[in-house]
Structure 1
């Protein structure tokens, strides 16, 4: 079994929380994530996300349950910005990103850029 980077697993946890209609427990998250991640690993990620004010938690019984309190698209965009800010050649990073898009993603990016070009 290949191991995911922690940042990737954190992103997957955020995605599951974004899709959820209600609070989700650590054990529920473990079952919704691919690859059978360890309960303790997911719990650690949730504690870190809580410390970053990205999720809120409430106690249900003896366990905590979590829900996303930030917009997932803002989180993803901020990660992209942070990578561009530290890159020695941001243009090259953007080129690599765009060359990895599938046709639907490229069309969506073009539409967003066109909308931003047209608005003052």
Structure 2
């Protein structure tokens, strides 16, 4: 979520350094080849004048919670710094809720 409360999201992807092509999804459980570089969510706002308010991940985990889809603040840069609170993540979930998307919220 950016400073204006807008949500930005993308699939995890990797840049193939040899071809210059974006390849996705970039699964977390599979190590990337040395010819690839992961493009994480910080790159979403890289060329924007906006700043991130909080960042995280959306994953499907039917064994966690009741809804299957989990929203977390799992982000080293935008999710777990001391000024990020659970209330911020709940606000993101509420914004998604405006579109009928419902998540179990997992605040780290």
The TM-score normalised by the length of structure 1 is: 0.29
Q: Which structure ranks higher in relative contact order (CA pairs < 8 Å, sequence separation ≥ 6)?
A: 2
Larger Rg: 1
Structure number with higher helix proportion: 1
The TM-score normalised by the length of structure 2 is: 0.31
Structure number with higher strand proportion: 2
